Amino acid sequence: MDRRRFLQGSGAFAFAGMSGLTGCAKHVPMTANATAPSLPLYDAVSPIIPIRADIDRIFRITVCLRPFRPAGPRLDVERVGEKTIVHNYGHGGSGWSLSWGSAAVVIDKALAALDGKREIAVVGCGALGLTAATSAQRAGLKVTIYAKERPPFVRSSRATGSWTPDSRIALTSAAAPEFATQWESMARTSFAMYQSYLGMAGNPVEWTDRYQLSDVSREEQAAHHEREDSHGFVHYNPRIADLVPSQHDLPPGSTPFRTKYVRRTTSLTFNVADYSRQLINDFLIAGGKIETREFHTPQEIAALPEPVAVNCTGYAARALWNDESIVPVRGQIAWLIPQEGVNYGINYGNLNVLARRDGIVVQPSVHGDDDGWGETDETPDRAAAEAGVVALQSVYKRTQAGRA
């Protein structure tokens, strides 16, 4: 989840103007005005059911390594013997969000290399492999996925599941000047494709509300997050600010949250369990094959029968391709039992929470964006998981029963 999404919204307030009788509401930025409503005139805060933040409701703890490259993902073409390899790895904390856009880039390159041939290999069955394979099928290719693991055992299955296209995707000091434009194109392509997964049985993708809770002003918060980013990650989200609704300040007392400021926006949630199952099912129904296989060297991939292979091996590309530019950025999630009617996200200081259909993701961090940098230990830390759940208890006002 991206804390900056909340801080980069339009001005302090926004309200909706109704355009005549068409009922077509649009968001109109408003200059600061002490008496102005902070919610659209037609809007209301729907009931927010508190999350049952009990440590005995933790049903699993997962750890995953973000495949971060300071220059941004690797999407170039390489020859290994007779084989053309198109790389598609290194998407940091944005792999799900950018996946379709990244697939569009690499499948175009693969089609050019195929020169009329119709068969392609995709190595890897995570977020990037599944979307590259599906995009290749949609381009009319016969596709085989080769992978050591498939969902739910891939690292992608341990992601938060939020629309976070610029989360730890590159460093300002290392990204090429043209990367921002390519990023924007990938983000817009992905966002458009995600709309085609809305409204399906199982809710693979849905729009859900996010609450930014804070006891300090927006400016103080921004300064705090700035201090916690010692590496200088790029922040491109303002380039696509038109894609998701701007944030609103909610009136005091209108929510069960106890903080001084409560702001709300709405964004995409990926219910990763169902979404990846649907991606696999669609791929198989369209005639794709998945072969369980582990590669130890690029030459083993070069020996595959297909003339072109797309390399979607994520963090594992560090060892397989000897790409030492990949920095592991560790992230841990405590999973709480899902709750009927609870489908929102919370961002409070360094605590990120997202209630999904397949579990309520609780992610505390100590150092904000710097958290987990260079860490390779994928062993769950139970104490940190419990600390996150206890922190979540503190965001709700106490009720008469003594608990939110």
Ligand X SMILES: Cc1cc2nc3c(=O)[nH]c(=O)nc-3n(C[C@H](O)[C@H](O)[C@H](O)COP(=O)(O)OP(=O)(O)OC[C@H]3O[C@@H](n4cnc5c(N)ncnc54)[C@H](O)[C@@H]3O)c2cc1C
* Interface residues toward ligand X, by CB under 6 A: 64, 66-67, 89, 91-97, 123-129, 147-150, 154-156, 159-162, 164, 293-295, 312-316, 320, 331, 333
Please report how close the Cβ of residue 159 comes to ligand X at its closest, in angstroms. Answer: 3
> Residue 360: enclosing H or E segment and its boundaries?
strand 359-364
Q: Minimal distance in Å, beta carbon 360 to ligand X? A: 14
CB of residue 342 to ligand X, shortest distance in Å: 18
Element (H, E) at 150: none
As measured in angstroms, the least distance from the Cβ of 263 to ligand X is: 20
Q: Where do the H-state alpha helices sit in 115-229? A: 127-138, 179-195, 218-227
Query: Strands, E, within 69-180: which ranges?
Result: 77-80, 83-87, 119-123, 142-147
Q: Which is nearer to ligand X, 16 or 171 (CB)?
A: 171
Tokens linked to 333: 């999630």
Residue 45, strand partner residues:
none
CB atoms under 10 Å from CB of 390, counted, come to 14
Whose Cβ is closer to ligand X: residue 172's or residue 297's? 297
**Closest distance of CB 338 from ligand X, Å:** 17
Q: Name the 3-class secondary structure at 337.
A: coil
Q: How far apart are CA 344 and CA 206, in angstroms?
A: 11
CB of 402 to ligand X, least distance (A): 33
| Residue number with CB closer to ligand X (19 or 292) | 292
The nearest distance, CB 319 to ligand X, in angstroms, is 8
Residue among 231 and 293 whose Cβ is closer to ligand X: 293
Neighbouring CB atoms inside 10 A of 76's CB total 11
Cβ closer to ligand X: 25 or 243?
243
Q: CA 284 to CA 341: how far, in whole Å?
A: 33
Nearer to ligand X, 149 or 228 (CB): 149
Beta bridge partners of 74: 89
CA gyration radius, the chain: 22
Q: Report the nearest approach of ligand X to the CB of residue 343 (Å).
A: 15
Q: Which is nearer to ligand X, 164 or 247 (CB)?
A: 164
The least CB distance from residue 361 to ligand X, in Å, is: 8
Closest CA to 277 of 157, 164, 193: 157
Per DSSP, what are the bridge partners of residue 265?
Answer: 210
What is the phi/psi pair of residue 272, to 5°? Answer: -60, -35
CB closer to ligand X out of 376 and 399: 376
Exposure string of 32-48, with b = 16+ CB inside 10 Å and e = fewer, is eeeeeebbbeeeebeeb
The two tokens of residue 193 are: 């494709």
Nearer to ligand X by Cβ, of 72 and 129: the residue is: 129
